[in-house]
Structure 1
Amino acid sequence: MDPSDSIPESAGTVIVGAGIVGCNIAYQLTKLGRDDVVVVDQGPMPTTGGSSTHAPGIMFQTAEAKELSQFANYSRKVYSDLEGADGQQAYNETGGIEVARSEERMAFLQRRVEHAKAWGIPDPQLLSPEEVTDHLPLVDQDQILGGYYSPTDGQVSGVIACDALAREAIDRGAEFVPHTRTEDVEVTNDSITAVETENGRIECNEVVVATNIWARQLGEKLGVHIPVTPVEHQYTMTESLAELSENDTDITDHPLFDNYENVSGEKAKRLLVGPDRAILRDQDNAMYYRTHGDSYGIGSYNHDPIVPDPQELGTNDPDGEQGSVHEFTEEHMNTATHPDRPHKPPRQASDELLPATDGAELEFKYNGMFAESPNGLPVMGPVEQYDGLWTAAAIWVTHAGGAGKALAEWMENGVPRLDDGPMDVSHCDVNRFDEHEGSWDFARDIGAEEYRIVYNVMHPKWVWTDMQRDIRRTPMYHSHKELDAELWAEAGWEEPQWFESNADLVDRYTDEIPERNGWEGKYWSPIEGAEALNVRENVGLHDMTAFNKMEVAGSGAGTFIQQLCTNDMDLDIGEVKYTLMCNEGGGVRADITVTRTDTNRYLVLTTGREVGNNHVSWVRKHAPEGVIVNDATSSLAAMVCTGPNARKVLSEVTDIDLSDDAFPFFTSQQFYVKNVPVTALRVSYAGELGWELYTPSEYGERLWEILLEAGKSYGLRPYGNGALDALRIEKGFRLWGEDLHTEHTPYQSNLGWAVDLDTEFIGKDAIKSRQQQPATAADGGTRAKQVACLTLDDPNASILDNRPVFDVNDDETLGYIHSAEYGYTVGACVAYSYLPPEYAEPGTDVEILFEGDRYAATVREEPLI
């Protein structure tokens, strides 16, 4: 690459950070036609000294999180198209193998196969111990039970890739400026206007913070609390091994060697050498391996988390100091310090698996840093507080190519996408976080926990148990505790999953609640089923305070609401309407319930949990001057009283006429429940007769108590989120972020009835265009898919989501399960998927692969009840 000697006075976009993420973004932006991109970095280039410099570059594509697998798969393709400075392909497609030393891990590897098939990773395979050693002859097969093999996994050198990406971006007009520390970002009227560097000011319209472990510090200067946490992990390279002597490689003539050596020292002679065999991962011991010529590289997460203070991180300077590297801590390699692996030191585990390393000197060793986020996913997208401020942090080499593509498309065209279509990144969005997550106290603890569990076998329903709990309490929290609620943390809220006080209901409904004894039964209680059935038969009370609530007010509120919403939003005061918000690409950005509460005032209700803040941010970002968007989530307590007896319960505590004529479905009224003021909506996510009740937070506990007391004679019981998921799925109600998201249009989601094309709204033109274009499997698949409601043929079986769906006569993946839950009223497990239209027809037979077994399922007409 040919970096600049001086900084330009202006640019359209400034990317802060020239590591693998910044280089990928510059590469993609210039590929989309931008020629006014400037990349600045505090270190030299392409060996900046960040994690891209010290990372061994292993590329395992398969992850349970779809986003990570999509990013990695795309990254592999990008790196495979790059030519390194030596004229060779930048990507080393060696394959990757994860081995199991326990039965629990073998079951995990089966899930690996299923997730790989669901996400489209090529040719995933389970291997016997003998087949593992066919690929990796130095592995002691007596130590393992088998392995998972992904043939297209491999390795890419961050330095080689950064150089290749930068060279192509420079050819298209980008400028790269090394040895230039960014000191501040200039803002005028909440818009980005310039970047202040140690060498001068660059006027610009956009800034991308791609500084990874340093992202928090730059954000703090702007009052933006980016919850990324630097963590250390160990990497070592052995001395030359006799068993690898035929692979002795002299890399000192590589065009990038001198640059690399100036920053990384003598270890560059090994780091720059690509592997000659499959990458190896021993997750039971939180370790991974790759060859460096005649040496083996050993990476270890198998130690107590080490979290440095961001304010005390070093910098990358011209003298070769690497701020992302700390001194090797011997005790973490030679002592068992990992809280979940107390019985075997990492070095011992390594020598057992690879006997060739036993007794070998660890010639090069260091603690390298990378960034963790609170949910282990990237932190990317436009920052709500400032126009033109973007983030791209907590992204590994493995995922940087895909993340860079998605972000560049987002910046240029308004919608994150990869080559095969739009991509949902709601769980990666920088605006997903709640205020408490910005604190260093929270980020430090959860970053350490994410590090601790990175190679653990984790259940998808697992939640933090000890760390950073009891942060947000609904007004009904103490009542929940008295009723012995099983509380799970959702976006910091302590929310009931079920109530142990309802255990007596299980005997009443025992014949309708099948047992769950496998992976699907972990973190589940039969009480969930009993609570759901009680709602259908009697009445239930659910705390929905954590659902996101917005108040939109102002003289232009009505016009703005129509601009946001796909439905006709010409509402009377007191009218309620279900509608969608779409992005510029026509994908569903959120499903919401809108109530007109006054002439120029609306109550907007949307899903909570982790993704809810994305919706609040979206609405605020689009609000015109004169329209106020107030996040009312914390100021309003909310609950729903629902079930056949709901009207009877409410009639005990209010004089309001609750009949269908006086209080029709999808209307709202304000009245008192005894002495508590409420705004009541005649809607229910459970799909039964019911009213959602909203009241100022200080009244919430009292309202809850009133309703519990009034409902005793009518069979009222509180119910948790487990029952709610079962209730909503058998009624066909979508859950945004699971079976409804931005990758599909309203029509693909069977929600076309919530779209009025005679109105004007964001995404309308894209929706019409996508509807008019012929959809084929060749266009990447997402546009060619249609939502399908499935039920398992075995009435006693249950599955979890994110597993592949097949034709009964074929092994080709048709789609994957977006959400699944047992429908206790239906008497079958209900699952939602998006399938090719010919397979989405009711009556079609398909199969779902779950935990190694193929389950027969049938497409059904929805709603089921």
Structure 2
Amino acid sequence: METTDSVPNQADTVIVGAGIVGCNLAYQLTQLGREDVVVVDQGPMPTTGGSSTHAPGIMFQTAEPKELSQFADYSRKLYSELEGADGQQAYNEVGGIEVARSEERMAFLQRRVEHANAWGIEDPQLLSPEEVTDHLPLVDESRILGGYYSPTDGQVSGVVACDALAREAMERGAEFVPHTRTEDVEVEDASVRAVVTENGTIDCEEVVVATNIWARQLGEKLDVHLPVTPVEHQYTMTESLSEMEDSAVDITDHPLFENYENVSGEKAKRLLVGPDRPILRDQDNAMYYRTHGDSYGIGSYNHEPIVPDPKELGGNDPDGEQGSIHEFTDVHMDTATHPDRPHKAPRRASDELVPATEGAELEHKYNGMFAESPNGLPVMGPVRKCEGLWTAAAIWVTHAGGAMKAMAEWMENGVPRLEDGPIDVSQCNVNRFDEHEGSWDFARDIGAEEYRIVYNIMHPKWVWEDMQRDIRRTPMYHTHREHDAEMWASAGWEEPQWFESNADLLEEYGDRIPDRDGWEGVYWSPLEGAEALHVRNKVGLHDMTSFNKMEVVGSEAGEFVQRLCTNDMDLDVGDVRYTLMCNEGGGVRADITVTRTDEGRYLLLTTGREVGNNHVAWVRHQSPDSVVVNDVTSSLAAMVCTGPDARNVLSKVTDVDLSDDAFPFFTSQQFFVKNVPVTALRVSYAGELGWELYTPSEYGERLWEHVLDAGAEYDIRPYGNGALDSLRIEKGFRLWGEDLHTEHTPFEAGLGWAVDMDTEFIGKAALQAAREETAAAADGGERSDGPRASSDEQRASDGGARADDSVYTDQQVACLTLDDGDATILDDRPVFAPGGDESLGYVHSAEYGYTAGACVAYTYLPSEYAEPGTDVEVLFEGERYAATVREEPLVA
């Protein structure tokens, strides 16, 4: 690997950090045609001394978050194509096995199979204990109940991969500069101007912070508070084991050995040796294993979280001391310190599972560091506070290839993509975070919690229970407490999921609410169903303060809103319109309602939930200097009064005529509710008669009380997010981030009616090209079916649940109901043709529809399967559930 000794004066793109992330990004950018790319690192190359140097490189591809599995699948394919410095393939495809020591873990492994099917991981299998030991004969099969086997899992050495990636990037023009610490980034007018290193300044307009555990320090200098937390976990390698003597390897003749040894010392003789049998994970004890020749490597997360202060992290010492490792703490291997596993020390658990290691000396041992984020996903993308500043942190070897392919496409072409199409990275976007998440107090505690649960069995609806709660309160918080609300945290907000004060509703509605006694019943209450039915039959009040709200103001606000939005946005003051924002590739960036509140003033509302800040960042990035974009989420309290009696309730507290003629659907008016000023929108995400009410936050609690008091004679009830999710899904309303995101176009999502191709908007060219391509295919006889059409009146009433009849697509959104009216499933499970083995798609969102009397699921299917009446099956918790594609909306 021929690096340069001098720092260039100028570059188009500077990547800070030459670990597995930086090298992957340089490889991808140069593959897309960029030549002026410079990579700088404080350590030597390719063995920089960061996390990529000490990481054992195990690659388990299957994860519950789809993004991680997609990243890992791409990484595996990429690493398989790389040639190491020794001329051998860089990736060791030895397979991976996760074992279960409990019935709960066996159920978890069944979910592994289902997620692998959903995400397209090849050939996932459940194994018996005997089948596990066929692959891993040193495992004690009496200690396990079975295993999950992924044949294409494996291992890649971070150093070998970094070297291979960097060599190819350099062949395409990239420069790599070792032994060069980055000290600062010069910024002028909120834009990057240069990277300042200890050996000189590089003028540039784009810089990528790919420094992983050191990312927070550099960000702080730019007033960018990245919630990236360094955490320690243990890794050790046994002495040579007699049971593995046939696997002994001398690696000292490897071309990278001397470089590796200079940084890592004697352990390089083990770390550089690839495994010769499947990698192993014992998640019940938070441990993993791989072979190093005739030695077993043992990784342990089975100890209390160890979170070093980023300010105290050293760099890589010129004499060879690695900044990314700390001294091994024997107490964490020999004593049970993990808060969730207090009864068995890690060493004992290891010796039970792999008896050959019992009594063996641990020759090489260290505490290695990696980076965690608040949701355990990467922190990547353009930083909204600074033009030209990108970040790529909290990314493991397993995911780095795919993550950096997506980010290179993002940087070069504006849309994150993998080889087979766009990928939604909203949950990875650096702009998803709220202000409080940038504090070290928050990042430290949540980083530690993410470490604690990394191998725990976590329910998809689980929320933080004690740690860093009660941060953001809506004005109605204390009233919710008085009604015994079950509060869940979302983006720091404390939000009601259901209200125990509504328990009496079960007497009226209980017979329409099926029990849930399995995985689907965890974090669920029948009160969610009772509240939903009450809204359908009477009236309810819902706190929606946490929904993201933006105000767009300026003389050119109208032109800007039109460019942002897919619909015709020629609005009069008081008009409300549902529309979409697309990215440059035509993927749905957000769905929003836009209200023109005054001349040159618009209110944009979206349901981004924990990733809603991405929408704010996007709108601000697109805005011209003549327009101001204000995030008014916190400054406006918001609620919706909805249900058949909503008009009766609100008429008691306002003199405004609320009739259909005076206050039509999708219009807005400003008036007083008693003594509280409100902006009222005649819309309802629940799909019933209703008004959304917005008021300055200091009035919010009083407005809530006014409406509740007025509705007493109509039996008004507060209702939570659980009921809202049920109400919206049976009405066919999309939820961005679940059944609507950037991987699908408006036409695929059944929202073609919200696209006006006669207007100019971001993403129009891509949509037009896709439309022409699919129409040409149809004309060529490749398609004979077309999407379902609906009248304008239907489209208005169902909120956009149907497709434009002039558009052909290869896949379409499909509304399913389970044939068993008492069954319920959860998201992210594969959908099959009856009896089929290859998944057609996966469940994007699912909730029981209490008015529809069935569990409702939304998915995207090949067009021939998306027709109403088509039979399909959903695999959930090991059982295939018969389902039928339905005409939507299910509830008129």
With normalisation by structure 1, the TM-score equals 0.99
8 Å CA contact 2:774, 2:809 repeated in 1: no
3-state SS in 2 of match to 1:80: helix
Whole-angstrom CA distance in 2 between matches of 1:577 and 1:672 = 23
* Counterpart residue number, 2:567: 567
CA displacement 1:374-426 (0-9 Å, x = unmatched): 00000000000111110100000000000010000000000000000000000
8 Å CA contact 1:44, 1:317 repeated in 2: no
How far did residue 318 of structure 1 move?
2.4
How far did residue 49 of structure 1 move?
0.3
Whole-angstrom CA distance in 2 between matches of 1:2 and 1:862 = 61
Whole-angstrom CA distance in 1 between matches of 2:699 and 2:7 = 58
Whole-angstrom CA distance in 1 between matches of 2:156 and 2:838 = 29
Residue segments in structure 1 that go unaligned for 5+ positions in a row: none
Whole-angstrom CA distance in 2 between matches of 1:469 and 1:545 = 17
Letter of the 1:328 partner, please give it. F
Whole-angstrom CA distance in 2 between matches of 1:38 and 1:773 = 39
Whole-angstrom CA distance in 1 between matches of 2:341 and 2:749 = 45
3-state SS in 2 of match to 1:813: coil
How far did residue 785 of structure 1 move?
1.9
* Counterpart residue number, 2:296: 296
* Counterpart residue number, 1:417: 417
8 Å CA contact 1:228, 1:443 repeated in 2: yes
* Counterpart residue number, 2:720: 720
Whole-angstrom CA distance in 2 between matches of 1:80 and 1:610 = 35
Whole-angstrom CA distance in 2 between matches of 1:346 and 1:771 = 57
* Counterpart residue number, 2:867: 841
After TM superposition, the structure 1 = structure 2 runs for residues 360-759 of structure 1, keeping only pairs within 5 Å, are 360-759=360-759
Residue segments in structure 2 that go unaligned for 5+ positions in a row: 783-807
* Counterpart residue number, 1:339: 339
* Counterpart residue number, 1:861: 887
Whole-angstrom CA distance in 1 between matches of 2:353 and 2:429 = 39
Letter of the 2:711 partner, please give it. G
Letter of the 2:298 partner, please give it. I
After TM superposition, the structure 1 = structure 2 runs for residues 110-121 of structure 1, keeping only pairs within 5 Å, are 110-121=110-121
* Counterpart residue number, 2:801: none
* Counterpart residue number, 1:792: 818
CA displacement 1:88-139 (0-9 Å, x = unmatched): 0000000000000000000000000000000000000000000000000000
Q: Which runs of 4+ in 1 moved over 4 A?
A: 775-778
Whole-angstrom CA distance in 1 between matches of 2:772 and 2:116 = 32
CA displacement 1:809-846 (0-9 Å, x = unmatched): 31110000000000000000000000000000100000
8 Å CA contact 2:373, 2:394 repeated in 1: yes
8 Å CA contact 1:179, 1:317 repeated in 2: no
* Counterpart residue number, 1:275: 275
Which of 783, 795, 813 is the equivalent residue of 2:839? 813
3-state SS in 1 of match to 2:762: coil
CA displacement 1:582-633 (0-9 Å, x = unmatched): 0000000000000000010000000142111000110001110010000000
Whole-angstrom CA distance in 2 between matches of 1:493 and 1:774 = 43
8 Å CA contact 2:126, 2:149 repeated in 1: yes
8 Å CA contact 2:536, 2:643 repeated in 1: yes
* Counterpart residue number, 1:852: 878
Whole-angstrom CA distance in 2 between matches of 1:365 and 1:220 = 32
Whole-angstrom CA distance in 1 between matches of 2:709 and 2:167 = 71
* Counterpart residue number, 1:771: 771
Whole-angstrom CA distance in 2 between matches of 1:158 and 1:701 = 55
* Counterpart residue number, 2:83: 83
8 Å CA contact 2:747, 2:809 repeated in 1: no
* Counterpart residue number, 1:262: 262
Whole-angstrom CA distance in 1 between matches of 2:608 and 2:74 = 30
Whole-angstrom CA distance in 1 between matches of 2:209 and 2:191 = 15
Letter of the 1:440 partner, please give it. W
8 Å CA contact 2:379, 2:393 repeated in 1: yes
How far did residue 774 of structure 1 move?
3.5
After TM superposition, the structure 1 = structure 2 runs for residues 165-314 of structure 1, keeping only pairs within 5 Å, are 165-314=165-314
Letter of the 1:458 partner, please give it. M
How far did residue 706 of structure 1 move?
0.8
3-state SS in 2 of match to 1:789: strand
Whole-angstrom CA distance in 2 between matches of 1:711 and 1:171 = 72
8 Å CA contact 2:608, 2:736 repeated in 1: no
Letter of the 1:788 partner, please give it. A
How far did residue 176 of structure 1 move?
0.2
How far did residue 783 of structure 1 move?
7.0
8 Å CA contact 1:804, 1:849 repeated in 2: yes
8 Å CA contact 2:469, 2:489 repeated in 1: yes
Aligned residues: 862
Identity %: 82
Whole-angstrom CA distance in 1 between matches of 2:608 and 2:497 = 14
Letter of the 1:339 partner, please give it. P
3-state SS in 2 of match to 1:773: helix
* Counterpart residue number, 1:108: 108
Whole-angstrom CA distance in 2 between matches of 1:473 and 1:573 = 32
8 Å CA contact 1:334, 1:346 repeated in 2: yes
How far did residue 190 of structure 1 move?
1.1
Letter of the 2:622 partner, please give it. H
With normalisation by structure 2, the TM-score equals 0.96
Whole-angstrom CA distance in 2 between matches of 1:771 and 1:138 = 57
Whole-angstrom CA distance in 2 between matches of 1:386 and 1:570 = 32
Whole-angstrom CA distance in 1 between matches of 2:183 and 2:526 = 56
Letter of the 1:93 partner, please give it. E
8 Å CA contact 1:42, 1:317 repeated in 2: no
3-state SS in 1 of match to 2:816: strand
8 Å CA contact 1:607, 1:735 repeated in 2: yes
8 Å CA contact 2:809, 2:863 repeated in 1: no
Whole-angstrom CA distance in 1 between matches of 2:189 and 2:163 = 37
Whole-angstrom CA distance in 2 between matches of 1:501 and 1:608 = 28
3-state SS in 1 of match to 2:86: coil
8 Å CA contact 1:125, 1:150 repeated in 2: yes
8 Å CA contact 1:744, 1:783 repeated in 2: no
Whole-angstrom CA distance in 1 between matches of 2:550 and 2:446 = 28
